[in-house]
Structure 1
Amino acid sequence: MYLPLDGRGPLHGQLVRSLKDAVLGGRLPAGLRYPPSRLLAQQLDLSRNTVLAAYEQLRAEGFMQARVGSGSYVVMPGAPVQPRSEPPQRVPPQSAYARRLRRYHDHGAMPGRGVPGVLHSFQYGVPFTNPLLTSAWARALSHAAAYTPPNYPTAQGLPMLRAAVCEYLSLRRGVQARPEDVIVVTGTQQAVSLTARVLLDEGDEVAIEEPQYFAVREALQIHGARLVPVPVDREGLRTDLLPERPPRLICVTPSHQFPTGALMSLARRRALLDYACRHDCWIFEDDYDGEFRYDAQPHAALCGLDDSRRVIYTGTFSKVLFPSLRLGYIVAPPGLRDDFVSAKWVDDFGSPAIEQAALAHFLADGGFERHLRRTAKTLKQRRDALLGALRRSCGEALDIDDSNAGMHLLVWLRGRSAAQGDAFIALAQRRGLGLYSIAPYYFDPPDRAGLLLGYGALSVAEIEEAARLFAACLAEMDFPE
């Protein structure tokens, strides 16, 4: 406990004043237990008699209450005195990086946050949580905690996890990776941050999808990249619109484009790889929701077609397990591998070893594969329920971009402007339904009312009730023609 003594008068008096200041200033709140006298004497290098004398005076003045068999507790005599608070001081940004942080990122305005006070919310980005996963993961963590060495892990990641990731990618994503080329990271956000540091100087150009995931966009902008938006259609990135002056990096989500859900066609994938090879630029492949397709087998990742080693492939376990896990991976081209490992070391010395070991065992013993099968089945049921309910109740009023993948749908209010979409979102919130606009994911949003409807965290019954509320709001909305 930090208790400064002022050096004036007897030691017990100095201790009394210091403790009273801590109580009146709010550092020792009412109801908190005072330290035992012997312990406080040791901490402050005082005699125990000095502390006992101070405690006796605090009891006499009403700052302490003794409870038999429990100890002595802080009491606030009279009305509490509010601690003096200094007004926050806004200082100018202290670096170019800080200037870009303030320009591009606002914690209070991030899209996709939960809407408070609603009964149902179509919040996207919130994954399905399988109750069976909790106990399975607890067992894996318990085993890992008992057998994982307590020293620092390697910055690149535990070898057994990197090997397990390679086996999973070969089986599920068509990527033939070697453990020595895998770097374990905290997720996609760290992957894009490390990629920017390894490949980009301030002012370098990066081609990015339009629309795109805002967090990747902001990470690149804060790093100092100049972003070149390239439109997306139903076949993914428009490779025919890639810039004539080649960018240093191209960022894509080919297996399930966010937020449109588009699947990049094989012809576009080959054209993109050819472009990168001819122009000596790199591709950052975010394999977003590539595990969950409901119309056919998952498509092979772009990296699986890459013979020229231009693709930096990244995936995460946040959506398929749970976001709090904070584990993902990069498969780096061999020529960049050491740079990525060094950048990871500088960032945090390495991801948590116990969680890595638990995940490696979960992957190796088949638990992860069983979880994926159960999750895909449940998500398909929820997707089918949402599609069916929307088509039955308001099909004529909607255009639904069904991607047959992922955990959200993109829905357009037919013939309605962006402003009308905002008004509809506001009405729905007043009626207890959380809705989310697609507009924040564009550099130049279209004048259309587009909504992202996430269904991963809602049961079938909740989805049907939320869809009824959606239809009721749509019927209530008096759209001006």
Structure 2
Amino acid sequence: MVQMKTVPARRAGRMGARQIYETLRDQIMDQVYGVDGLLPSSRALSGELGVSRTTVTVAYEQLAAEGFIEVRHGARPRVARAVVEKARARTASRPSVRNMRLSKFGERLRHDPPSWTLPSRGLVANFRYGDLSPSDFPTLAWKKAMVSALNRRPERLAYDDPCGSLRLRTALQGYLWRSRSVRCDVDQIVVVNGSQQGLDICARLLLNAGDRFVMEDPGYLMARHAFSATGAVAIPIPVDRDGLETERLATVEARLAYVTPSHQYPLGGVLPIGRRHQLLAWSRRSDAYVIEDDYDSEYRYGTKPVPPLHSLEGNGNVVYLGTVSKTLSPTLRLGYLVVPADLRSLFGAAKQIMDRHTPQIEQEALATMLESGAYDSHVRRVRRRSAERQQALLNALRRRFGDRIQIDGADAGLHVVVWFRDLALEFEAALIEAARSKGLGVYPVSALFERRRQGRRFRPEVVGLVMGFAALEVRQIERGCTLLAQAVDEVAAGRRR
């Protein structure tokens, strides 16, 4: 429908040809219509505006005479390509708005926005973490579950519980108990639109401007962005090959700690049971909450899982966060929180304010897969495929680099971190550029260090790459490692010259 300008009081009533012309001209220049965009037919627009067809025709004729549209007999008017290109050039040349009136939240985002880019196309191999292979998605099982959800006749068409479908929360309760030893009441589960919304709710409810929060260093940047957007201040605590160095918490005062204890992101350490108890003791002593992000615990390769923080004594301070983004797809935006019982109503209220509730059809479909066992079967299948991909990556890296590299985080998950022992950090940008020229997407681990963001030195001072493998087939992985070796050799040769 064409949205025409408000008619001035002195000309209330039917719109004239001049007003129609001016409105359409302005909309074309404001790029409401794209290149070769079609305008309504004169008959359709006259009926919509309640004016004669002749009035609309006069407006169209004026637009055509000035080159804004092209008119052909028997066809709808079409926006002239040259006009749209001119409008785009005019928009690009406009001066940027300097005096934006933003909240403090908006100002913080403006000065420290999270980075995001579309996945690069046309690469031989893209080792970007977080992407999954389309061939792994359980298309038939998901389609069957969606059809089942659509066929379930709803009792009503209305807003539902902001905490999520009771059926899905009940299914999740059983899944968490049998797969992760997480025991909770159904009312403690809050369904969210992916883990990022879960982090955002935690940030809004548990942090104020000026509060301090503990972050693993290196760590997950999108969690830091969610917490920092409140005005809270990050306290980076180093990690080693076993995860967070919890002994460093002894003198730390903070309201919240964010951790990935089952598979530290990005270095891959599994937090030992002693450190887990040490972290929980600190949280009780400090009256602080711990956000336990269990983002990829389904992927373990020959190692036994350590009990989640939530299942240990003192879980009244733990918020457990899970997602299906690493098992099904990040496009589904389905995740869940297990919150302390006394916070359930607050998390539900925050969820209601944000978006009322997560889409119901997808919730019902996931519940169907969990109840039928299809989800568990799918997880077992993709775990096997992921293990094959990881082994192919490890073999290819070791063949081509030998003891020139150190690999961390290979016990679990969908990525590893590769350190190049003989390539100093100053050559990081050169390596990424050389790899890209060969059709490779590779990503530095240094960007995940809070200490580097603050201009402080950190170790190790060599190039490290976070290499995701879940979206690649074995042949892509092997070819990618061959090209990576060529890129490393080129950078090393250039360094010696």
Same fold (TM > 0.5): yes
Which residue does the alignment assign to 1:235? Answer: 242
Which residue does the alignment assign to 1:204? Answer: 211
Which residue does the alignment assign to 2:4? Answer: 3
Query: What is the letter of the counterpart of residue 4 of structure 2?
Result: L
> How far, CA to CA, are the matches of 1:126 and 1:299 in structure 2?
26
- 8 Å CA contact retained: 2:214, 2:254: yes
> How far, CA to CA, are the matches of 2:422 and 2:174 in structure 1?
47
- CA shift at 1:278, angstroms? 3.0
Asked if 1:365 is matched to 2:366, the reply is no
- CA shift at 1:15, angstroms? 3.6
What RMSD, in angstroms, separates the aligned Cα atoms of the two structures? Answer: 2.8
SS in structure 2 at match of 1:283: strand
- CA shift at 1:156, angstroms? 0.8
Which residue does the alignment assign to 1:462? Answer: 476
Asked if 1:82 is matched to 2:86, the reply is yes
Encode CA deviations 1:203-257: one digit per residue, 9 max, x unaligned.
1111111111011111111111122111211222111111424321111100000
Asked if 1:134 is matched to 2:142, the reply is no
- 8 Å CA contact retained: 1:23, 1:30: no
Encode CA deviations 1:146-189: one digit per residue, 9 max, x unaligned.
43443212111110111111111011111011111101111221
> How far, CA to CA, are the matches of 1:217 and 1:193 in structure 2?
10
Which residue does the alignment assign to 1:169? Answer: 176
Query: What is the letter of the counterpart of residue 487 of structure 2?
Result: C
Which residue does the alignment assign to 1:326? Answer: 333
Q: Which residues of 2 match residues 429-444 of structure 1 at below 5 A?
A: 429-444=436-451
SS in structure 1 at match of 2:475: helix
**Deviates most, 335-344 or 8-17:** 8-17
Which residue does the alignment assign to 2:455? Answer: none
- 8 Å CA contact retained: 1:31, 1:73: no
Asked if 1:144 is matched to 2:149, the reply is yes
> Which of 399, 412, 419 in structure 2 is aligned with 1:392?
399
Distance 1:397 1:442, change over 3 A: same
Distance 1:416 1:150, change over 3 A: same
> How far, CA to CA, are the matches of 2:41 and 2:118 in structure 1?
45
SS in structure 2 at match of 1:440: helix
SS in structure 1 at match of 2:71: strand
> How far, CA to CA, are the matches of 2:29 and 2:318 in structure 1?
60
Distance 1:10 1:123, change over 3 A: closer
Q: Which residues of 2 match residues 28-427 of structure 1 at below 5 A?
A: 28=33, 31-48=36-53, 50-51=55-56, 63=69, 65-66=71-72, 68=74, 71-74=75-78, 76=80, 82-83=86-87, 84-85=90-91, 86-92=94-100, 94-107=102-115, 110=116, 114-115=119-120, 118-131=123-136, 133-147=138-152, 148=154, 149-427=156-434
- CA shift at 1:432, angstroms? 2.1
Query: What is the letter of the counterpart of residue 436 of structure 2?
Result: Q
> How far, CA to CA, are the matches of 2:229 and 2:356 in structure 1?
23
- 8 Å CA contact retained: 1:118, 1:434: yes
> How far, CA to CA, are the matches of 1:203 and 1:113 in structure 2?
33
Distance 1:3 1:295, change over 3 A: same
> Which of 440, 446, 451 in structure 1 is aligned with 2:465?
451
**Deviates most, 84-93 or 205-214:** 84-93
> How far, CA to CA, are the matches of 1:429 and 1:280 in structure 2?
47
> How far, CA to CA, are the matches of 1:29 and 1:276 in structure 2?
55
SS in structure 2 at match of 1:90: coil
- CA shift at 1:18, angstroms? 4.6
- 8 Å CA contact retained: 1:214, 1:441: yes
> How far, CA to CA, are the matches of 2:15 and 2:181 in structure 1?
77
Distance 1:136 1:51, change over 3 A: same
SS in structure 1 at match of 2:76: strand
Distance 1:45 1:459, change over 3 A: same
- 8 Å CA contact retained: 2:418, 2:467: yes
- 8 Å CA contact retained: 1:230, 1:237: yes
- 8 Å CA contact retained: 1:172, 1:298: no
| Aligned residue pair count | 476
> How far, CA to CA, are the matches of 2:118 and 2:55 in structure 1?
54
Which residue does the alignment assign to 1:472? Answer: 486
Distance 1:2 1:203, change over 3 A: same
Distance 1:345 1:78, change over 3 A: closer
> How far, CA to CA, are the matches of 2:196 and 2:22 in structure 1?
49
Distance 1:26 1:342, change over 3 A: closer
Query: What is the letter of the counterpart of residue 82 of structure 1?
Result: K
Distance 1:72 1:298, change over 3 A: same
> How far, CA to CA, are the matches of 1:194 and 1:25 in structure 2?
37
- CA shift at 1:369, angstroms? 0.8
SS in structure 2 at match of 1:151: coil
> How far, CA to CA, are the matches of 1:79 and 1:238 in structure 2?
61
Distance 1:416 1:402, change over 3 A: same
- CA shift at 1:38, angstroms? 4.0
